Chains A and B, each alone.
Chain A
Amino acid sequence: MIWNQKFETMSREELREWQGKKLAETVKRVYHNVPFYREKLQEANIVPEDIKSIDDLKKLPFTTKEDLRDNYPYGLFTVPMDQIVRVHASSGTTGKPTVVGYTRNDIATWSEVVARTLQCAGVGRDDVIQVAYGYGLFTGGLGLHYGSERVGATVIPISGGNTKKQIQVMQDFGSTAIACTPSYALYLAEAMEELGVDKDELDLKVAILGAEPWTDEMRSDIEEKLGVRAIDIYGLSEIIGPGVSSECEAQAGLHINEDHFIPEIINPKTKEVVKPGEKGELVFTTVTKEGLPIIRYRTKDLTTLNYEECECGRTTVRMQKCLGRSDDMLIIRGVNVFPSQIESVLLEMSETKPHYQLIVDRVNNLDVLEVQVEVADEFFSDEIKKLEQLTKRIKGNLESTLRISAKVRLVEPKTLERTAGKSQRVIDKRDL
């Protein structure tokens, strides 16, 4: 099933022409409406008229998550707020989230690209899709919701959590597709086993999984235990949310919706575009978005691009499943976590030293985060209740910043490893 024959099977030449035209329009728009972009382009001695074709893309300066933070919350929006109909937010590198805004047309674009994602996965109007991504500031829930309605599927907007209810709904409502994080899919499978629910009793045939890194082993595990085909999808709120790219039924790389989001791969150190097929950091430029167009956004995700035509008939470029990150961002239960966020929480609390270690593990297919914190000498109390209160306060502060729960463990001073003056902050035992 191909949702948009025209754009998904367009010849490369035609596509490049379209991208060039749309890019020029976008650059013009941000130059005249966003002081941040105007200054950046002026610094680089570029005027919008210099951007004539897609080959001019590499002349443009990069945008980073820090730029979004510096312009928090609405500084990079290209249109007045009366045209923004929705905002979403994701974690920033420190306390402040990254805010993104959508116009009415952006919501339509978003629904369109998620519709393509769903058709890529084989989901259509005959399907009943259980959207078990969180609804809210996170783009996962509402993104999948609108896309599912667009293809005409029946949507069950159940949101995340409440595993027993998820299973019951799957049984009673006859869900044929489920959208959630891969770790949650595995968790569901195990919960079904415990409840004695046989996968053959279910109508489930496909799982649309994303928002966190996962391995091929996890994929086979999910496919076997849930009796589904597990499809990898990719997206980030800064670009639009889910719908940026998706695997087709060939499961051989994720098709990027290139008429909306132009990908490049750069060497994260030199920032030069790498040779075709080489691994590097994925960079996106949006060329159709109105609320928050973004020029050469550095995703920090590492991958490669494959321009060969796919057996499914789509001509769009395919990115490989992400191979890691060029920064220290962790994805825990689908939520982006930066060690620097934890550091800023601890620094704000006088009782703790900014010496900490994060231990991420996967227990029963659920990610668990443990934060080990060194207790400052001057605040060490010999009363247990005071230390327990301290642990509770750290936990509360972390949770309100990270938006996921963390276990906090106080440790003795100077026990956390310090390598060459810089501590080994993160131990990820998940082996992804």
Chain B
Amino acid sequence: MFIKQLSVFLENRCGRLTEITEALGNAGVNLAALSIAETSEFGIIRMVVSDSEKGLEVLKEKNFSVSLTDVICLSTPNEAGTLAKSLRILANEGISIEYMYAFSMGERALVVIRTEDLEETVDVLKEHDRELLKPEELYNI
């Protein structure tokens, strides 16, 4: 029911990101969303792809430190204040966000979210009639 996100540990070395994207591209795995978190020593790349199991296999073969992490994807109208409203709901329930990344496209804005307790997060958002994307919808975007 959750979206399976690929998380990869990366040393800050030139060319590593290229190698990841090439490996996925050659295996026909399409990237739906991507973000990078970096420190001075290393980075973590988080990706939602068309086929997470295959992506995992491909990257493991290439000896990357990679894992699947559950995330959810909130879909809101691409309008001022809509993200704030959703976040307010979560904050009121005492749910804090580990990380998130977002982009908007045409009339919708999509927000990938990771929290400590995803089930509770989903329940709370649904109770307040927030729209969540099904995993397949994001994989095949």
Quick one: CB contact mask for A371-392 with B, threshold 8 Å, 1 for yes? 0000101001011100110010
B residues 40-93 in Cβ contact with A at 8 Å: 41-42, 44, 46, 63-67, 69
**Chain A count of residues within 8 A CB distance of the other chain:** 16
Measured CB to CB, the closest approach of chain B to A416, in angstroms, equals 11
Residues of A within 8 A of B66 (CB): 377, 380
Partner-B contacts on A (CB < 8 A)? 375, 377, 380, 382-384, 387-388, 391, 409-415
Nearest 9 A/B pairs, CB to CB: A382-B7, A414-B63, A380-B65, A382-B69, A413-B65, A382-B44, A380-B9, A384-B37, A412-B11
Grouping DSSP codes into helix (H, G, I), strand (E, B) and loop, the B interface class, with mixed when no group exceeds half, is strand
**Docked CA distance A411–B69 (Å):** 20
What is the bound-complex CA distance between A280 and B131, given in angstroms?
76
Given the complex of chains A and B, what is the CA–CA distance between A387 and B65 in angstroms? 13
Number of residues in B with C-beta < 8 Å to the partner? 19
| A410 engages B9 (CB within 8 Å) | yes
Name 29 A/B residue pairs within 8 A (Cβ), A-sorted.
Answer: A375-B9, A377-B65, A380-B7, A380-B65, A380-B67, A382-B7, A382-B44, A382-B67, A382-B69, A383-B98, A383-B99, A384-B39, A384-B44, A387-B44, A388-B39, A391-B41, A409-B41, A409-B42, A410-B9, A410-B41, A411-B11, A412-B9, A412-B10, A412-B11, A412-B64, A413-B64, A413-B65, A414-B63, A415-B11
Across the interface, do A413 and B63 meet the contact criterion of CB distance under 8 Å?
yes
B29 to chain A, nearest CB (A): 18
**Does more than half of chain A's interface fall in helix, strand or loop, or is it mixed?**
mixed
**B interface list, Cβ under 8 A from A:** 5, 7, 9-11, 37, 39, 41-42, 44, 46, 63-67, 69, 98-99
Task: Write the nearest CB–CB distance from B85 to chain A, whole angstroms.
Answer: 26
A384 to B40, CA, bound (A): 11
* Contact partners of A380 in chain B: CB under 8 A: 7, 9, 65-67
Q: Which residues of A contact B63 (CB under 8 A)?
A: 412-415
Report the Cα distance A391→B67, complex, angstroms.
19
Chain A residue numbers with a CB within 8 Å of B41 are: 391, 409-410
When C-beta atoms are compared, the residue in chain B nearest to A388 turns out to be B39
A415 to B19, CA, bound (A): 14
Report the separation of the CA atoms of residues A388 and B41 in the bound assembly, to the nearest whole angstrom.
10
A385 to chain B minimum Cβ distance, whole angstroms, is 9
Please state if A412 and B98 are interface contacts (CB–CB under 8 Å). Answer: no
